[in-house]
Chains A and B, each alone.
Chain A
């Protein structure tokens, strides 16, 4: 309910019960604060947001209260400008600054520092304290985060985020008084895969981005571009910062429906591949000896390319789940739809198709990532989202608080009263049931965990579905798990908003179908209540987009007319990650291979013609995330030299090779053609965010008001300043001039007068933590079929039985090192642990193994060696093999293999 409050004589409408600080900020008022954060709530510890509160209209004295700890009620009257309140706030800042070092010039936070902003806002401009400052030793916190403890103002935001919100264990507050210390118990890498958010959560420069430090640039000098993360299927929104033609850093970009205020470390620090010297920067043609790649000019490359694609009949195009929708569609246009194949592996193709089928033909609702936080009972099947889709894990962690938040609401405690809500909850966590083959990072907050092979996970899921809806197939011989299934069913049924989570990382179609069955059965059991939620993860950033383009599976290529000749065009894809080497070799044998990509890999090494493609940071395009949300990313760095966007190469080839037909010439044409061919995708580009869009005839500037160095940065090359590059594909300009408005569809970075830090974000939202005033949350392309009759899988997988002397190899996702592009980043590489084969401890002992022994894993597809890790928390009879293990090559898992000790 909305109520009216009075602030300094003016009336504002705010949400009843909201804290006054958030209410003031939501109404655009400037009120300094430190310890409060939209996702962390209020604890009232910093005393910075003091305001004068009056009892009624007759009260002339008033009293000082902390705005973040007071509820807004009808008729509430406060003053921010009251002299006493102002003096109080100035004093607080002065105290906070007593030990603050004289560091701004050498501090990475300088220029985007909440402490700087608040100090200026309160008017504290000269130091009166003349005594000594306390100092602290720093810690080495690993490759991502730089620690400079002297700068701390003890607001506690870091530990409240890291421990309370993200569930980290290895960062804490130590000591008291001037000895307050925020760090680890000893030096060492921060273990949480969400540690990077400390950079944005910390209001000063204690925690800063270590990768950014290597090519440091002030915020005001970065040209910022709205983008979408490419390192998993969730499609978190990011801001890319460019300077001197290089990608300098990745920041979170707020999307009220997807990632909110946070991104994971893979998304934040995995950008190194863009600046890598391993990039393919020139077009190359393989000369006669078959080994050497000779650099050729772009025009020559286009001519070569054209000559290779002349004959449309003998063309094969292989798309990619990590390339944009437009690039994939351009390839499809070039080779024709009958010759366009998905670049996903056979298994991935099938799993993604299962997911799309469940989302499109099922009656269950797919929640947005942000909505997941409000689910109050969760069943997680088959995979550890912390590794396969990290931010999902963070959202699930919040969902386990949902019941305690509802409890607190009953007790009259608002959700923002963070300490009180957590105090009431103690260690209780809402229902979260986890059934996976190995331990997950969410086990610590799970109600119950079950370690089972994928088939058993699917059986458990189907048993839950049967408990909820007797029409679902009955699973027999479930044993003790039948009781568990009953408990899960009861918990899901009792919840206001239950959620079922699964995904392709389990490598099991049965698990995905079982998850869909649970959600369907829940829908039947809950009848008229809100549709249950089903959230399914996918392997890559555009797996969904590629599926929506109806690409044929790779396996069908065999049906192509035999014989030599013809070309295979591979778009941003390493086929050796998608199929066995022999299969790829057979596929490419006798064909001319053209590869468009930006990084070196074995498929590039085989190519006759290599065309240097732009990365996601150097072109515009669209990605469709796992919930079917199409989101656009934009050019952050202008490609240099011969590098062109993939769709650019494909379109110039198409135009040159078939000049008499009408072809798309630009990204916009391509989108129009794509929308015409796939009506489902049309809504993606319907908004007025077209590249030709101008706000009052102006583009949106990427650079800040105070961007510097324009007349000097290129002066070593020429003293005549070059014209800024034109970006024909978006309504963004490489300039500091143009249209800036919080209501614009494109918001490249957050800044408002007096607010230089990321906290300026509140000026861009309707209300703090709510939807953006401008920006674009993306377009949901897939709607569930509401009236679909409940359907369940016909087959129930047989129970898994451990084999004697053989182990079922299962895929193990890894947050660092388990994804192709981020694995090339030097900082991510430091964080990547050595690949180990994970076994149950007793299984290992039965093999006579001890931790760290090298074992040979032998299967019908060959053998390889790995060190072994033995844990209690693994299903018996299976062995977990990290994805993308170097030296292992492609393996179609699950697969039975024997394990033999090689050496200790």
Chain B
């Protein structure tokens, strides 16, 4: 191939690029003018973690420690407690968002749908201690993504307002002393 040919190819390439760039000026813009403008996040976006309530308004978290165990960065710590009726909950619950990698494993591990990741991704802070969320910061006033579920309605434990045998698919407590077959 001659020298002239390669010069021509180069020129065409440059002009082509210029044309492409110029044409891009008239494309639809994808940049969002954050924070003036905000994108609508998909409902399953993994952002700020919340603790939810069951449909009856009780705390869903039973303090089973599975979220903490699943957390790859160990940023969840809690202490389980039990009220006088036998209902379990977290005495305190802490997430250190300055360590959280929003992997969602805690949500996957949660047997009660208590812990959920929300589409809120605005967690910027100037001071790291402000990213340490306690239970009162984490609790929201609704059931989040799973509106119908109440763990205690399927668990065998009796708690205030739900006696033995009243959960889903349960027979009433047996009478040990009966002689019937």
Contact = CB atoms under 8 A, between A and B. Distances in A.
Nearest to B153: A102
Nearest to A151: B156
Contacts of B68: 221, 708-709, 712
A581 B96 CA distance: 55
B64 A712 contact: no
A169 interface: no
A174 interface: yes
Interface stretch (A212-220, A331-339, A463-471, A633-641): A212-220
A188 to B, nearest CB: 15
B148 interface: no
A135 B96 contact: no
Given A709-B77, A719-B128, A135 B156 contact: yes
Contacts of A710: 74
A133 to B, nearest CB: 5
A133 B64 contact: no
A705 B129 CA distance: 28
A711 interface: yes
A558 interface: no
B96 A179 contact: no
A175 B154 contact: no
- Which range holds the interface residue count of chain B? 35 or more
Interface stretch (A30-38, A103-111, A446-454, A818-826): A103-111
Nearest to B165: A135
Contact of B65 (A135, A137, A148, A221): A221
Given A131-B169, A133-B156, A133-B169, A110 B64 contact: yes
Nearest to A221: B65
Contact of A179 (B80, B131, B165, B174): B174
Nearest to B111: A105
B103 interface: no
Nearest to A720: B128
Contacts of B73: 711
Contacts of B99: 711-712
Contact of A711 (B74, B134, B176): B74
Interface in B159-181: 164-165, 167, 169-178, 181
Nearest to A101: B156
Interface string A155-184: 000000000000000000011011101000
A178 B175 CA distance: 10
Contacts of A216: 63, 80-82
A719 B132 contact: yes
Contacts of A716: 94, 132, 134
A734 to B, nearest CB: 15
B169 A132 contact: yes
Contacts of A213: 82
Interface in A510-537: none
B112 A105 contact: yes
B93 to A, nearest CB: 9
A306 to B, nearest CB: 41
Which of B63, B64, B181 is most buried by chain A, counting CB atoms within 10 A of its CB? Answer: B64
Contacts of A718: 129
A634 B69 CA distance: 26
B170 A133 contact: yes
A177 B175 CA distance: 12
Contact of B76 (A133, A136, A244, A709): A709
B69 A706 contact: yes
Given A151-B156, A709-B74, A218 B173 contact: no
A150 interface: yes
B77 A713 contact: yes
A134 B178 CA distance: 15
Interface string B71-115: 101111111111000001000001110110000000000011000
A712 B49 CA distance: 14
Contacts of A713: 77, 94
Interface string A717-753: 0110000000000000000000000000000000000
A713 B99 CA distance: 12
Given A715-B94, A719-B96, A103 B80 contact: no
Contacts of B134: 716
Contacts of B80: 216-217
Nearest to B81: A216
Nearest to B64: A105
Q: Max chain A CB contacts within 10 Å: which of B129, B155, B156?
A: B156
Main secondary structure of the interface of A (DSSP, over half): loop
B83 to A, nearest CB: 12
Contacts of A712: 68, 74-77, 94-96, 99, 132
Contacts of A711: 73-75, 96, 99
B131 A218 contact: no
Looking at A105, A174, A175, A221, the one whose CB has the most chain B CB atoms below 10 A away is A105
Contact of B62 (A106, A134, A708): A106
A101 B155 contact: yes
A719 B98 contact: yes
A106 B62 CA distance: 7
A106 B155 contact: yes
B77 A106 contact: no
Contacts of B155: 101-103, 105-106
Given A106-B64, A131-B169, A719-B128, A179 B157 contact: no
A707 B69 CA distance: 7
A244 B79 contact: yes
A106 B74 CA distance: 21
B146 interface: no
Nearest to B172: A135
B178 A179 contact: yes
Contact of A106 (B75, B96, B157): B157
A102 B154 contact: yes
A176 to B, nearest CB: 8
Nearest to B78: A709
A217 B65 contact: yes
B13 to A, nearest CB: 52
A218 to B, nearest CB: 5
B69 A218 contact: yes
Contacts of A110: 64
A150 B73 CA distance: 36
Interface string B123-155: 000001101101000000000000000010011
Contacts of A215: 79
Contacts of A102: 154-156
A136 B64 contact: no
Contacts of B62: 105-106
Given A105-B62, A220-B69, A719-B128, A136 B154 contact: no
Given A218-B65, A220-B69, A105 B176 contact: no
27 contacts: A101-B167, A102-B154, A104-B64, A105-B151, A106-B62, A110-B64, A111-B65, A132-B169, A132-B170, A134-B170, A134-B174, A135-B164, A135-B165, A135-B172, A137-B164, A148-B156, A150-B164, A213-B82, A217-B80, A218-B64, A220-B65, A706-B69, A710-B74, A712-B94, A712-B99, A715-B94, A716-B132
**A-B interface, 5 closest residue pairs, ranked by CB to CB distance from nearest:** A101-B156, A709-B77, A708-B68, A712-B77, A105-B64
Interface of A: 101-106, 110-111, 130-138, 148, 150-151, 174-175, 177-179, 181, 213, 215-218, 220-221, 244, 706-713, 715-716, 718-719
Given A105-B64, A221-B69, A710-B74, 9 more contacts: A105-B155, A134-B170, A135-B170, A135-B171, A135-B174, A138-B158, A216-B82, A715-B132, A716-B134
